[in-house]
Amino acid sequence: MPDLQLIHGNCIDELRKLKSSSVDLIIADPPYNLGKDYGNGSDSMSAATYLAFTRAWLQESVRVLKPTGSIYVFMGFRFIARLYSILEDELGLQFNGWICWFYTQGMGKTRGFSPRHDDLLFFSKSDKFTFNLDDIRVPQKFYRSRNNMRGANPGDVWEFSHVHYCQDSRTTHPTQKPEGLMERMVLASSNPGELVVDPFAGSGTTVRVCQQLDRNCIGIELSDEYLDIIQSRLQQPFAGFDSIDPRMKRIPNDLNDPALRQEYKHNHIKWFLSHHETELQAFEEEFNRKYPARVTL
Ligand SMILES: C[S@@+](CC[C@H](N)C(=O)[O-])C[C@H]1O[C@@H](n2cnc3c(N)ncnc32)[C@H](O)[C@@H]1O
């Protein structure tokens, strides 16, 4: 069982209490300073105060990261450019990726384009960072005939739906992230038994994902109301993560040989649908539709 710690407090103070070079991965989803109501005023600062706050928690984050460690930071449009500059120019981290989280539902604008993505910056402390590509590949359109049989690199545009109000894992937190997003970062940038820190735990998405993927995790959150939500979320029976990259359901078009088809089907479930049990039935149905069993008389 992984060690999961929930800490009630301000992440700057709480990160200060952690040992230097002790953390493998930080997943940070701070308030974007766009005026969301988290019940604690944390999303409505002046620009200068917000930037000072951002520098302070990032400095502590860099101190606690191991030399092989990585940090992913979510950010909205208003501060993303300045965040990039703080991470690269001021903190001297190594840039690894600017990921676009694309979602199909969201607020509709009547003047201007409706926002359909958030950004995620991925930096590491050195060029010796962990990156488990085989654990996060996505299925190929063509299997044997092209590329790597194990699947393709998912790229830097990630599609995951928001968690819908009718889903069991949906809480009352206003900016709950899909578990599939955190799953990809945790699998790519940490190993089982390592330590992940989420300084802005919110509804506990990162902690829940770490619980299921056997990573130790520290989640820090300012509001005790959200800590209660996390506690009860961690007690819920697990029936699969609440979101999946639609490409994970893709079935290659060239599985013409029956033996290869069976081998592929077995591998697909193991490689792409582990921790996504709710998708298994739909996958079986789609597989049978695409490759109907031939009746021989
Ligand atoms: C964008 S939300 C995180 C959502 C989370 N990723 C999830 O999936 O539920 C940011 C959270 O940071 C918390 N927060 C704001 N300022 C904080 C601080 N200084 N220290 C710790 N938590 C803070 C807010 O209360 C809010 O729950």
Q: State the pLDDT at residue 139.
A: 94
Task: List the alpha helices (DSSP H) in the chain.
Answer: 11-16, 47-64, 80-85, 179-189, 205-213, 224-235, 258-272, 280-290
Which atom of ligand 1 sits closest to the CA of residue 177? Answer: 8
Q: Is the pLDDT of residue 296 over 70?
A: no
Fold annotation for 4-235: Rossmann fold (3.40.50)
**For 223-277, what is each residue's pLDDT tens digit?**
999 999 999 999 999 999 999 999 999 999 999 899 989 999 999 999 999 999 9
Q: How far is the CA of 148 from the centre of ligand 1 (A)?
A: 39
Residues 141-162: tens digit of each pLDDT = 898 766 677 899 999 999 999 9
> How many angstroms separate the alpha carbon of residue 114 from the centre of ligand 1?
24
Domain range summary for the chain, segments of one domain joined by +? 4-235, 246-290
Nearest CA to ligand 1 atom 16: 42
The string of pLDDT tens digits covering residues 80-108 is: 999 999 999 999 999 999 999 999 888 88
- Which residue, judged by its Cα, is nearest atom 19 of ligand 1? 10
3-state class (DSSP) for residue 69:
strand
Q: Which atom, in ligand 1's list, is nearest to the CA of 57?
A: 19
Instruction: Dig out the tokens for 26 from the structure.
Output: 């930080």
CA 199 to ligand 1: nearest atom: 21
What predicted TM-score, i.e. pTM, was given to this entire model? 0.96
Stretch among 4-13, 216-225, 256-265 having the lowest mean pLDDT: 256-265
Q: At what angle do helices 280-290 and 258-272 cross, to 10 degrees?
A: 160
Q: Which of 239, 4, 276 is nearest to 160 (CA)?
A: 276
